[in-house]
């Protein structure tokens, strides 16, 4: 067991917040597979300030996915405090402050990982959020802006001082984006520098990677991001490995397509017909490596009607079942 504030979790496995990915349907699926804590997509404090109601969709949560965190980004302390109070009305278990997003449209406004270059301001932003709400606040950071500006340890210490309950560190700089290798040693350095839980992030692709990161860094838990795309089974396999030292084989092609169909159905039920467009990337991830998947993906990308997408997927499912029975 481990905890963030008074929130206790059995397994040290966390789903990373990913823009355009970690919506409610995906989080619910991941939770079924054993993920201890899930985070929603990052939400702009300015979008909340200016009344963008599309933001409310990103803040919807379900009881069965708890514990769940919602993530905010912004660089104005007052706007972040107001946004945190707004988000708290959706009753998340945790509010996370994003200091790690490398996207140009985020950092160009001084938000996300841009704040890694200014530890004092970063702490001011986080302090405002902590003071604004009565629920646990966490922070997600990177190693730093670049190799000449490695500020992870300083920022982790500063946010701990202003009342943060846990910190997640991705072992890459902003300059790296998602390339190169994650520096697990910086995760260990942050763990040594603070007394709050530290969640390690970066280059976790297998169950073995989870235990390797925890042994090497001493981190409290591990966050999984891109490796979970089209692969919610990874969380079940991680839990199995933590408990028994062995885990299930990779899902079959039939299981992948069946999950793609289920995920699409859930998205349509929860979000309406426009979910067809949002699901295209998820369907492509599920179909990766499946025979004849490239042709199917090309067709799906050109279809607007949900019924037609289902038909294509069911036809592929029947083809795969026939092959597996042969």
Q: Catalogue the active-site residues.
A: 101
d(CA 199, CA 279) in angstroms, rounded, equals 29
Judging by beta carbons within 10 Å of its beta carbon (0-12, 13-18, 19+), is residue 227 exposed, middle or buried?
Answer: middle
d(CA 127, CA 123) in angstroms, rounded, equals 6
> Measured in whole angstroms, how far is the alpha carbon of residue 185 from the centre of its chain?
22
CA end-to-end span of the chain, whole Å?
A: 46
d(CA 158, CA 163) in angstroms, rounded, equals 9
- Angle at the Cα of 202 (from 286 to 17), degrees rounded to 5? 60
Which alpha helices (H) appear in 194-292, and where do they start and end? 207-217, 233-244, 253-271, 275-287
């Amino acid at each position: 067991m481990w905890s963030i504030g008074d929130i206790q979790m059995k397994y040290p496995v966390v789903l990373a917040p990913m823009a355009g990915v970690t919506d409610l349907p995906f989080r619910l699926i991941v939770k079924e597979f054993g993920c201890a804590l899930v985070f929603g997509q990052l939400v702009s404090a300015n979008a909340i300030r200016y009344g963008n109601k599309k933001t409310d969709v990103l803040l919807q949560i379900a009881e069965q996915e708890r514990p769940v965190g919602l993530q905010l980004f912004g660089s104005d302390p007052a706007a972040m405090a107001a946004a945190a109070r707004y988000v708290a009305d959706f009753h998340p278990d945790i509010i996370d402050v994003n200091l790690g997003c490398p996207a140009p449209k985020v950092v160009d406004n001084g938000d996300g990982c841009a704040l890694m270059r200014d530890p004092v301001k970063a702490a001011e932003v986080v302090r405002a959020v902590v003071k604004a709400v009565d629920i646990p606040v966490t922070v997600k950071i990177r190693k730093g802006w670049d190799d000449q500006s490695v500020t992870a340890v300083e920022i982790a210490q500063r946010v701990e001082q202003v009342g943060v309950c846990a910190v997640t560190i991705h072992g890459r700089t902003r300059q790296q984006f998602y390339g190169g290798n994650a520096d697990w040693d910086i995760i260990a350095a942050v763990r040594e520098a603070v007394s709050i839980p530290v969640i390690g992030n970066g280059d976790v692709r297998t169950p073995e990677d989870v235990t390797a990161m925890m042994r090497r860094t001493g981190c409290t838990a591990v966050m999984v991001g891109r490796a979970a795309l089209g692969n919610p089974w990874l969380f079940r396999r991680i839990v199995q490995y933590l408990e028994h030292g062995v885990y299930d084989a990779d899902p079959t092609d039939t299981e992948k397509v069946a999950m793609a169909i289920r995920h699409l159905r859930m998205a349509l039920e929860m979000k309406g017909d426009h979910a067809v467009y949002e699901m295209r990337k998820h369907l492509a991830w599920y179909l990766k490596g499946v025979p004849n998947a490239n042709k199917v993906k090309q067709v799906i990308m050109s279809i607007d009607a949900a019924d037609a997408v289902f038909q294509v997927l069911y036809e592929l499912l029947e083809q795969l079942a026939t092959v597996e029975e042969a």
